[in-house]
Structure 1
Amino acid sequence: MLALVAGRGGLPLALASALQRAGRPFHVYALEGFAPDLPDVTLFRVEALGRLLRDMRKAGISEVCFAGAMQRPPVDMAKLHPLSLSLVPRLMKVIGKGDDRLLREVIAIFEEAGLQVRGAHEVSPDLLAKGALGRQPTEAERTDAARGAEILSALGPLDLGQGCVVAGGLCLGVETLQGTDAMLGFVAETRGGLAKTAGVFVKRAKPGQDLRIDMPTIGPDTVTAAARAGLSGIAVQEGAVLVLDRDTLSRRAEEAGIAIWAQP
């Protein structure tokens, strides 16, 4: 059986729907305070991570898929469960070393417990970005997208975000811990007359990122936010970005005149 360790947003809902259509049994777990809008969710705390792993094995769980937005919760060491004595300190040691380092440690802990970690793209391959999702991009938009890919590649070793905005070759914003919506909101508020072209939002996996967890994702709300920021394109990495509610996303892109495409 598969455990869906779910957070907020549309991805857990999309995966649950895909699993139901496929007739695959699964159970949903969520950190307290970050539960998705799904039935029969088992809540847990980081302080009781060891107990969670034990209970998963007892329930016949053999695979785990992480999906959805979660923030780093406060940890009360006074509430540490005996089975978590060696686990939580491992997480605390890497919590300030960037998302990628922390998530790799989470994967290691679950795999050491005998649970196989599956990526959302393995659970539902249809979610992967490929081809054109909106109108075809112009040459200027492709040039800005290529510049954005260069910027994200250079920032990769610093373990920052998965996106940036480029207009006329100028970088108007870089995604950080606050996320995509915050970056696009910043661009909308501050771009003024900085660039002569509309610009492109570029979304890619970090170089060397383990795509089984925290895979880049776009959805209809991404298109709305990009339009508010005055952008004319969204370029995503083919095979490394998930697309939620593809039909609604494409419709909004067409209404806003935004090109959306996947590139290597």
Structure 2
Amino acid sequence: MTSASDAAENGAPKGCLGIIAGGGRLPGLILADLKARGEPVHLVAIKGEAEPELAASADIELGWGQIGQLFKSLKQAQCDRVLLIGGITKRPDFTSVMGDLGTMRRLPAILKAMIGGDDSLLTRVIGIFEAEGLKAVGVRDVAPALLAREGLLAGKGPDGDAQADMALAYKAVQRLGELDIGQAAVAIGGRVIALEGAEGTDAMLARCAELRRIGRVKTKGAAGVLVKAAKPGQDLRVDLPTIGPRTVELAKAAGLAGIAVEAGYALVADEAETAAAAKAGGLFVFGLTRDGSDAA
């Protein structure tokens, strides 16, 4: 018997795409892109995570303890694929998944998924959906236009110092990613001054601004580069590194000269607005090749 996802791969009409939306603007941007192309979509907003406006327009809003209702909803909408997108501010604790009967039946798999680093967590969550016959897809599959392009995306091209910092920060992100810790680093003057941990990119940039304020990092004028890149071996269907206007704002406050992302493996939310913010703030935004060769 051929499944809906198998049929889609063989050229038959695709079924509905289920979007499981966390926080941030990205789920809304992807939803708008898909609807503009006439793609059938079933939006599930994660209660307490999805943006209020998006949650209000969702087909259904569900909490962590409503896994059974989630799969029932996806089945009723005839979804054959699922996209997990958006930020999650905190992992559910054990009590939050004690919900409906469908949750209880899947509890061993859910609890197993909650063990490990961020990337292993997300990969295990994908496994739960695939065990239900749903094909997990990523932004690269459904909205590739949102991925960063190679080369200069905004502002003036990086000078020699910025290129050196870009290359160093990219190497740091690769090492950081091998430990499944974070996707971002900042280098200034040939020195890595910050690595992203559980606090996320925004908090890391705020920390960089504080280092400048207290004199631990001393430069004349804007200097240094934020680099965001996918972790080595990362499952590219989830948690791609993302930048947007807010990233530019915080990078400017931290006194950085620019931002670099991994072309084809990172997302630029609100690209036009991001580029305009970078130009106004005197920063560059650059799309690195996967091996970082253009940052050397």
Q: What's the TM-score once normalised by structure 1's chain length?
A: 0.94
Which of 37, 49, 52 is the equivalent residue of 1:34? 49
2:110 alignment partner, SS class = helix
Give the letter for the 1:228 counterpart.
A
Question: For 1:17 and 1:105, how far apart are their aligned partners in 2?
Answer: 28
Does structure 1 retain, via aligned residues, the 8 Å contact 2:68–2:103?
yes
Does residue 135 of structure 2 align to residue 116 of structure 1?
yes
Structure 1 residues not aligned, in runs of 5+:
none
TM-superposed deviation, 1:77: 6.5
TM-superposed deviation, 1:86: 4.6
Does structure 2 retain, via aligned residues, the 8 Å contact 1:3–1:28?
yes
1:46 alignment partner, SS class = coil
Q: What's the TM-score once normalised by structure 2's chain length?
A: 0.84
Which of 187, 197, 219 is the equivalent residue of 2:208? 187
Question: For 2:96 and 2:28, how far apart are their aligned partners in 1?
Answer: 32
Give the letter for the 2:33 counterpart.
A
Give the letter for the 2:152 counterpart.
A
Does residue 194 of structure 2 align to residue 173 of structure 1?
yes
Give the letter for the 1:112 counterpart.
A
Pairs aligned (count): 264
Give the letter for the 1:203 counterpart.
K
TM-superposed deviation, 1:176: 1.2
| Alignment correspondent of 2:177 | 156
TM-superposed deviation, 1:152: 1.3
What are the superposed Cα offsets for residues 21-56 of structure 1, whole Å, 9 maximum, x if unpaired? 101111211222112322134122332313322331
Does residue 279 of structure 2 align to residue 236 of structure 1?
no
CA gap of 1:78–1:54, structure 2 versus 1, over 3 A, is closer
Question: For 1:51 and 1:222, how far apart are their aligned partners in 2?
Answer: 35
CA gap of 1:51–1:150, structure 2 versus 1, over 3 A, is same
Question: For 2:159 and 2:130, how far apart are their aligned partners in 1?
Answer: 45
Which of 68, 71, 74 is the equivalent residue of 2:86? 68
| Alignment correspondent of 1:129 | 148
What are the superposed Cα offsets for residues 209-239 of structure 1, whole Å, 9 maximum, x if unpaired? 1111111111111111100000001011111
Structure 2 residues not aligned, in runs of 5+:
1-15, 290-296
Question: For 1:11 and 1:28, how far apart are their aligned partners in 2?
Answer: 13
The 5-angstrom pairing of residues 209-220 of structure 1 reads 209-220=234-245
Does residue 120 of structure 2 align to residue 97 of structure 1?
no
Question: For 1:41 and 1:174, how far apart are their aligned partners in 2?
Answer: 38
| Alignment correspondent of 1:196 | 219
Identity %: 38
| Alignment correspondent of 1:59 | 77
Does structure 2 retain, via aligned residues, the 8 Å contact 1:3–1:64?
yes
Question: For 1:157 and 1:254, how far apart are their aligned partners in 2?
Answer: 33
Question: For 2:191 and 2:218, how far apart are their aligned partners in 1?
Answer: 7
Greater displacement, 243-252 / 223-232: 243-252
